[in-house]
Chains A and B, each alone.
Chain A
Amino acid sequence: MTILLIYIAIFVGAFFVIKSIEKFKTKETDFTSLKTVTFGDESAVISNRAASFISVLAIFMIWGAFTGSKLMPLHVPGPFIGDLSFTYTATNAAGETDDALVKVVVYDSKSDKVLPKPDIEPGPGFAKNDSASIAAWRSGLIKVRRNDVGYGENGYKVVSIDGQSISPSSEIFIDNARIYMTAKGTLSLTPDKGWQMESLYLPPPEDVWSRLIKVASEGYKNFSLFEHLGWSLLRVVGGFLAGALVGIPLGYSMGLSGWFRGWFDPIVEFMRPVPPLALIPLVIIWFGIDEEGKIILLFLASLWIMTISARAGVSGVTISKIHAAYSLGASKWQIMRHVIIPNSLPEIFTGARVAMGVCWGTVVAAELVAAQKGAGMMIINASKFQMTDLVILGIVLIGVIGYSIDILMRISEKYLVPWKGK
């Protein structure tokens, strides 16, 4: 919640800062800048580059600030680390009261060194001094009564801490910590956690970076990082190509022949809304968890998309183009080769982009279920060992690769079908 508010504050703040800076810049005089109606005119809405830059920066800054990153000069308060102490007051069976001191050392859980309990003299009276050692973000039971004289006798109890009275199943706050008395009367001390995320839940950016360096050089679970990602990509490309190789001719034949359309329409229309993930169990039962099963799953994921886009490509040919080609003396085969296929390419490219996206998502999911190697296997395995940095690294890499695939498809689209949308 706090993070959301901070994010909104950055969003709004940056808007006003950038806007006021832009006032001093010389006005651009291209055509769009002269439009007075921009609200509702989509073509007049130009993505603000400063906003994109600040947006990415803001995510990293919030990430850094809330994880105590060394890259970030500003941090939200971290967990309490250091020494704290409190005094408790106990009454014994005879009705006497006595105070004793408790010293607690709270150590950084990131450093693997576990600090020992500090030494402390027992002190005078029936209540004896105690000490404890607790890791930051954790809580610890402090059995202050155990070394007290008269503990266990009827009437002995701890009644207050630092002057605040306490009873079983209630809590009090002292400086830098919360103390809860359990139903049985034992004290449970939780040092202040601050606002930062524990690296088990969210590691700072530099941890993810160093994990990248480490995994890139050493690999993970018998395979290098390159192999993990490469295998995922290989499966996607293999499955997609197989799907396109079958789906495009199938789509063409459905677009060109009533018999094919009638025969395959029920199958395609039924299979299209089935999410590929729902096929994973069946594919595993039939083909096992090896490469074969994955390629077949991705084949099925891309097949229907490619079929439908090829069919749409054929039906998208304006009849006057076909008529014109016939009137110019083209044969059926020439019309296929020179009119129908090129005319359907934009549709097929759109389908291919969708299919690649679906395949990339499906392969990761399939690897989460069962795999020896692959991006999905890497992150599910890392999560089992609580290597959150590797999990995040994996997600980032999967995102980067998915995005790169889409950009690559768009570039080749621009190059191969320049007439699209014209």
Chain B
Amino acid sequence: MKGLTIENISMRFDLANGESIQALKDVSLDIKEGQIISVLGPSGCGKTTLLNIIAGFLAPTAGRVNLNDRTVTGPDAERGMVFQQGALFEWMNVRSNVAFGPRMKGMPKSEQDKKVQHLLEVVGLGGFEDKAVYELSGGMQQRVALARCLANDPDVILMDEPLGALDALTREKMQGLVLKLWKETGKTIILITHSVEEAILLGERLLVLAPRPGRIHKEYQLPYAEMGVTMDLREVKKTQGYTETREEILAMIWDMEEEIMGGVGEG
């Protein structure tokens, strides 16, 4: 079966002081090929742990992740990852960064160049091939990161708060770009974010995780990602039901945060 299945994943580890943490408990999820899923939750709910398990950087203590009927045992080019910041290689120019994956696979130079040029056009950075990455703005760097990930043609793209460090305007533009890339490439995308708006706008499915232990609290099926492909995101925000959904989720997360803070206060 094509797609990503997460079967009863639990993650539990011991701390140096003898306590143990249940980061995730019995998380199960079926993701069809080509879906875009956003994951939301208060800090410490295990979002990043879940993403790292899917990426293969962490092994779960129970359960497993299957991609196209193969169990994930470690990182692989079939699961590309886009990080918040600082994951570009400063010692390479934009072209070498984007061509990194194909180059590691031994793709011929001319094909690499063609691919790089095409992808940079797609992310709106045509002509920036020879720039050093540290000369680019934060938004441009994330465009390069997206292009680098796409260059490898992965089945799944995992995004760990890729737009978290950008200013509001750039962020909005980049959200549009993510949706455009999703539609054009048909990739499965799992996106972790702290922003409720971003989660609603970009998630065809939206998962809210609850902390202690990390688990899926609620799932939404939302129409906004599909709308955003053709519409301006600001228009999407004005559509019926958007505000209600946003308020509902915000309240939910506020409650969870309060519970955590209260727990800390009571000791």
- Chain A residue, CB-CB nearest to B80: A327
A320 to B51, CA, bound (A): 13
Contact partners of A343 in chain B: CB under 8 A? 89, 91
Residue from B57, B89, B101 in contact with A321 in the complex, judged by beta carbons closer than 8 Å:
B89
User: Quick check: is B222 within 8 A (CB to CB) of the other chain?
Assistant: no
Q: Are B89 and A326 in contact (CB under 8 A)?
A: no
Interface positions, chain B 67-101, Cβ under 8 Å from A, are 74-77, 79-81, 83-84, 86-92, 100-101
User: Quick check: is B152 within 8 A (CB to CB) of the other chain?
Assistant: yes
Select the stretch in A32-40, A212-220, A329-337 that faces chain B.
Answer: A329-337
Q: Interface extent on B, as a size class?
A: 20 to 34
Give a binary string over B30-60; 1 marks a CB under 8 Å from any A CB, 0 the rest: 0000000000000000000000000111000
Residue from B81, B84, B91 in contact with A419 in the complex, judged by beta carbons closer than 8 Å:
B91
Q: Are B132 and A320 in contact (CB under 8 A)?
A: no
Closest 6 CB pairs of A and B: A329-B77, A422-B134, A326-B75, A419-B90, A328-B101, A342-B91
User: Quick check: is B114 within 8 A (CB to CB) of the other chain?
Assistant: no
User: Quick check: is B148 within 8 A (CB to CB) of the other chain?
Assistant: yes
A-B pairs with beta carbons under 8 Å apart, 20 shown: A320-B83, A321-B86, A321-B87, A323-B87, A326-B56, A326-B74, A327-B55, A327-B81, A327-B154, A328-B100, A328-B149, A329-B104, A329-B105, A329-B152, A330-B101, A338-B89, A339-B89, A345-B91, A418-B132, A422-B134
Q: Are B83 and A323 in contact (CB under 8 A)?
A: yes
A328 to B96, CA, bound (A): 13
Contact partners of B154 in chain A: CB under 8 A? 327
Q: Are A324 and B87 in contact (CB under 8 A)?
A: yes
User: Quick check: is A417 within 8 A (CB to CB) of the other chain?
Assistant: yes
Give a binary string over A304-324; 1 marks a CB under 8 Å from any B CB, 0 the rest: 000000000000001011011
Contact partners of B81 in chain A: CB under 8 A? 323-324, 327
A72 to B34, CA, bound (A): 85
Contact partners of A330 in chain B: CB under 8 A? 100-101, 104
Query: From DSSP, what is the main secondary structure of chain A's interface residues?
Result: helix
Q: Are B152 and A419 in contact (CB under 8 A)?
A: no
Contact partners of B86 in chain A: CB under 8 A? 318, 320-321
Query: From DSSP, what is the main secondary structure of chain B's interface residues?
Result: loop
Taking A323-B57, A327-B154 as given, write out 16 further A-B residue pairs in contact, using a Cβ cutoff of 8 Å, ordered by the A residue number: A320-B84, A320-B86, A321-B86, A323-B55, A323-B87, A327-B76, A327-B79, A328-B148, A328-B149, A330-B100, A330-B101, A338-B100, A343-B89, A345-B91, A419-B91, A422-B132
A339 to B76, CA, bound (A): 17
Q: What is the interface size of chain A, counting residues whose CB is below 8 A from a CB of the partner?
A: 22
Contact partners of A325 in chain B: CB under 8 A? 100
Q: In the assembled complex, how far is the CB of residue B182 from the closest CB belonging to chain A, in whole angstroms?
A: 18
Contact partners of B84 in chain A: CB under 8 A? 320
A321 to B76, CA, bound (A): 14
Contact partners of A329 in chain B: CB under 8 A? 76-77, 101, 104-105, 152
Q: In the assembled complex, how far is the CB of residue A419 from the closest CB belonging to chain B, in whole angstroms?
A: 4
Contact partners of B80 in chain A: CB under 8 A? 327-328
Q: In the assembled complex, how far is the CB of residue A179 from the closest CB belonging to chain B, in whole angstroms?
A: 76
Contact partners of B152 in chain A: CB under 8 A? 328-329
- Chain A residue, CB-CB nearest to B135: A422
- Chain B residue, CB-CB nearest to A420: B90
A329 to B77, CA, bound (A): 4
- Chain B residue, CB-CB nearest to A318: B86
Interface positions, chain B 114-171, Cβ under 8 Å from A, are 132, 134, 148-149, 152, 154, 158
A325 to B154, CA, bound (A): 13
A339 to B100, CA, bound (A): 11
